[in-house]
Amino acid sequence: MIEKFSEGRMVVFFFVVAGMFSMIHPATSMADALSPFKGESGTIKISGGTAHIPVMKEAAKRIMRFNPNIRITIAGGGSGVGIKQVGEGLVDIGNSGRKATDAEISKYSLHMLKWAIDGVGVVVHPQNPVKALSTKQLLDIYSGRISNWQALGGLDKPITVYTRDKSSGTRAVFWKKALAKGDITDKAHFVVSNGAMKAAISQDPNAIGYVSVGHIDESVASVALDGVVPTLETVKQGRYNVSRGLYSNTRGEPVGLAIKLLDYLLSPEGRQIVADKGFIPVK
């Protein structure tokens, strides 16, 4: 898988997940969880939110290994793309990191399934000494009012602001809950996915950005916001409130292979995949 980041444009990532990978769970438990796919054949097309991709890829690998007659394709593009494409009948499942709007639901007759909760955390380069910010400081950074790390106790270096495009559900929750719908400087660099954001931050010592908590690893450093570090535990506890649901949307009630895949995500094995990928499963 190759991911790129770019300024001011959207890149849609496309994945065809091959069913040739080793399984994590014993074959017996896999067969029990995946038994609804026995004897089935066909294709499931999925697109949309990039936060969902690790879970969808793992579920797809297990399903296709169990039944090679099923083919699952997974594309990114952001929440807006997922909602639009499923609404237009281009895919079977459109993922979104936000609730579809009333207008989108009405226009496309959408059915929404929420299967995980995800936090959105501020991140910087691991070598950046600034590991805590207040909400006001974050607002000042993203609006451009603070443009040098020295003003925050860091090095005398210009701050490089990274953000997502407006179709991103990650951006939507960050803008609403972390920035209180405040301004984002027009000097911000745009990236197109959580993976691209991590890559950008990890390569730029002066960078600041935001990613799903489930995507935070050693390549970037978490930043405490008002004294609370973004982790799965603080999201679960409600202490870190920059969070959102992860949704899978269908046009009308899900049917066929699509409903079997969504049911699998809600099964004990599917919920374990969700947890293993750094999200909070919901019933």
CA–CA dist 100, 75 (Å, integer)? 18
194-224 pLDDT, tens digit per residue, is: 899 999 999 999 999 999 998 899 999 999 9
- Give the residue extent of every domain in the chain: 14-118+246-281, 119-243
The answer to whether residue 264 scores a pLDDT higher than 60 is yes
What pLDDT, on a 0 to 100 scale, did the predictor assign at position 7? 35
Class of domain 14-118+246-281: alpha beta
- Average pLDDT of the chain, as a whole number: 90
pTM over 0.85: no
pLDDT recorded at residue 31: 66
Question: Rounded to whole angstroms, how far apart are CA atoms 157 and 32?
Answer: 56
Q: How much is the pLDDT for 10?
A: 38
Rounded to an integer, what distance in angstroms lies between the CA atom of residue 226 and that of residue 216?
A: 19
Q: Please tell me which residue, 16 or 106, carries the higher pLDDT value.
A: 106
Confidence label for 230 from pLDDT (cuts 50, 70 and 90):
very high
CATH hierarchy code of domain 119-243: 3.40.190.10
pLDDT over threshold 90, residue 227: yes
**Which residues in 98-118 are b (16+ Cβ under 10 Å) and which e?**
bbbeeebbeebebbbbebbbb
Residue 25 structure tokens: 């769970």
Judge whether 14-118+246-281 and 119-243 match in fold. Answer: yes
Give the distance from CA 171 to its chain's centroid: 10
Residue type, position 75, single letter: A
Q: Are 262 and 86 in contact (CB under 8 A)?
A: no
Residue 12 has pLDDT above 60, yes or no: no
Q: Is the pLDDT of residue 266 over 60?
A: yes
30 pLDDT above the threshold of 70: no
pLDDT greater than 90 at residue 96? yes
* Higher-pLDDT residue of 164, 17: 164
Instruction: Using pLDDT thresholds of 50, 70 and 90, give the confidence band for residue 32.
Output: confident
For residue 243, the one-letter residue type is: S
pLDDT for 9 equals: 37
**What pLDDT, on a 0 to 100 scale, did the predictor assign at position 214?**
83
Q: Is it the case that residue 181 has pLDDT exceeding 90?
A: yes
